[in-house]
Structure 1
Amino acid sequence: MSRLAAVGGLLLGGAMVAQAAMASETPRAAARPFAAAPGAGGTGGALVARLGTARTAGDWIGADGRPVVAVTDRAAAREVRRAGAEAKVVSHSMNELTSATATLRSAPRVAGTAWAVDYRTNRVVVSADSTVSADDWSRMSQVAAHIGDFVRMEHARGTFTTRLNGAQPILSTGGRCSAGFNVTNGQSDFILTAGHCGPAGSTWFAGTQGDQQLGRTVSSTFPGNDFSLVQYANGDAGDGAAVVAIGGGNGVRITGAADAAVGQRVFRSGSTSGLHDGTVTALNATVNYPEGTVTGLVQTDVCAEPGDSGGPLFSDGIALGVTSGGSGDCKTGGTTFFQPVTRAMAALNVKLIVSAQTAGSAPQNASPAPSAPAAQGAAAPNAASPGSAAPIAGASGQTLLARLTDTRNVGPGLLVIAGSLIALVATRYIRAEQDRRAYQRYYSATWG
Structure 2
Amino acid sequence: MSTKRTNPLRRTAPRFRRPVTALAVLALSAALGLAGPQAAQAQPQTFSAAELAAAGDAVLAADIAGTAWGVNPATGTVLVTVDKRVSATEVAELRRSAGAQADALTFERTAGTLQPHLQGGEPVWSNAGRCTAGFNVRAGTADYFVTAGHCTQGVSTWYTNASRTTTIGPTAATSFPGNDYGIVRYTNPAVPRPGTVNCGGTIIDITGPANPTVGQRIWLASSTTGCHSGAVTGLNATVNYGAGGIVSGLIQTTLCSEPGDSGSPVFTRTGDGTTGLAVGVLSGGSGNCASGATSFVQPINEVLAAYGAVLT
Same fold by TM-score, threshold 0.5 exceeded?
A: yes
Residue 245 (structure 1) aligns with: 198
> C-alpha displacement at 1:330, in angstroms?
0.4
Residue 211 of structure 2 is aligned to residue 259 of structure 1: yes
Q: Determine the C-alpha separation between the residues in 2 that align with 1:127 and 1:181.
A: 28
Matched, 1:205 2:159: yes
Judge conservation of contact 2:219–2:266 (CA < 8 Å) in 1: yes
Summarize the Cα distance change of 1:236–1:347 in structure 2 as closer, same or farther, 3 Å threshold. farther
Q: Which residue of 2 aligns with 1:367?
A: none
Q: Secondary structure at the match of 1:153?
A: strand
Q: What are structure 2's unaligned runs of at least 5 residues?
A: 1-10, 18-43, 270-275
- Structure 1 residues 151, 260: closer, same or farther in 2, change over 3 A? same
Code of the residue aligned with 2:86 in structure 1: it is: V
Give CA deviations for 1:356-390 in whole Å, capped at 9, x if unaligned.
Answer: xxxxxxxxxxxxxxxxxxxxxxxxxxxxxxxxxxx
Q: Provide the C-alpha distance between the structure 2 equivalents of 1:209 and 1:252, rounded to a whole number of angstroms.
A: 29
Cα distance in 1 for residues equivalent to 2:87 and 2:102: 23
Instruction: Look up the SS of the partner of 1:330 in the other structure.
Output: coil
For the structure 1 residues 90 and 267, does the alpha-carbon distance in structure 2 shift closer, same or farther, using more than 3 Å as the test?
farther
The whole-number CA distance in structure 2 between the counterparts of 1:96 and 1:325 is 28
RMSD (Å), alpha carbons: 2.4
1:289 matched to 2:241? The reply is: yes
Secondary structure of 1:333 counterpart: coil
Range with greater deviation from structure 2 (168-177 or 148-157): 148-157
Map of 1:269-348 to 2, 5 A cutoff?
269-291=221-243, 292-316=245-269, 317-348=276-307
Q: Which residue matches 2:176?
A: 222
The answer as to whether partners of 2:95 and 2:102 remain within 8 angstroms in 1 is: no
Alpha carbons of 1:306 and 1:314: their partners in 2 closer, same or farther (altered >3 Å)? same
Output aligned runs, 1:385-400, within 5 Å: none
Change (3 A) 1:278 1:91: same
Q: Which amino acid in structure 1 is aligned with residue 300 of structure 2?
A: V
Q: 1:156 to 1:145 in 2, by over 3 A?
A: farther
Asked if 2 retains the 8 angstrom alpha-carbon contact of 1:165 and 1:271, the reply is no
Higher strand share: 2
What are the within-5 Å matches in structure 2 for residues 402-417 of structure 1?
none
Match status 1:147 vs 2:101: yes
Tell me if structure 1 keeps the 8 A contact 2:286–2:293: yes
Residues 188, 236 of structure 1: 8 Å contact kept: no
CA contact 1:265–1:280 (8 Å) conserved in 2: yes
C-alpha displacement at 1:215, in angstroms? 1.1
Question: Cα–Cα, structure 1 residues 334 and 201, in superposed 2: closer, same or farther, change >3 Å?
Answer: closer
Q: How many residues align?
A: 269
Q: Which residue, 121, 125, 145 being the options, matches 1:191?
A: 145
Runs of 4+ in structure 1 off by over 4 angstroms are none
Shift of 1:277: 0.6
Higher RCO (CA 8 Å, separation ≥ 6 residues): 1
Counting aligned pairs with the same residue, the percent is 42
Within the alignment, does 1:233 sit opposite 2:187 as a pair? yes
* Counterpart-to-counterpart distance in 1, 2:241 and 2:13: 29
State the one-letter code of the partner of 2:210: A
What SS does the corresponding residue of 2:294 show, helix, strand or coil? strand
Please show how residues 60-209 of structure 1 align to structure 2 within 5 Å.
Answer: 91-105=46-60, 107-144=61-98, 146-199=100-153, 201-207=155-161, 209=163
Structure 1: give runs of 5+ residues left out of the alignment: 1-48, 58-88, 354-448
Alpha-carbon distance in 1 for matches of 2:64, 2:47: 26
CA distance in 2, matches of 1:149, 1:137: 13
What's the CA shift for 1:236?
8.3
From 3, 9, 14, give the equivalent of 1:54. Answer: 14
State the alpha-carbon separation in 2 of the partners of residues 92 and 237 from structure 1: 53
Q: After superposition, what is the alpha-carbon deviation per residue over 1:241-268, rounded to whole angstroms, capped at 9, x for unaligned?
A: 1111223x33211010021111111111
Q: Structure 2 vs 1, CA of residues 295 and 214 (structure 1 numbering), >3 Å: closer, same or farther? A: same
Q: Report the CA distance shift for 1:201/1:54 in structure 2 as closer, same or farther (over 3 A).
A: same
Match of residue 61 from structure 1: none
> Can you list the C-alpha shifts for 1:173-214, whole angstroms capped at 9, x where unaligned?
100000100001131000011000022552111136443211
Aligned AA for 2:148?
Answer: A
**TM-score, with normalisation over the residues of structure 1?**
0.56
Larger radius of gyration: 1
CA distance, structure 1, for counterparts of residue 134 and residue 103 of structure 2: 39
Give the equivalent residue in structure 1 for 2:8: none
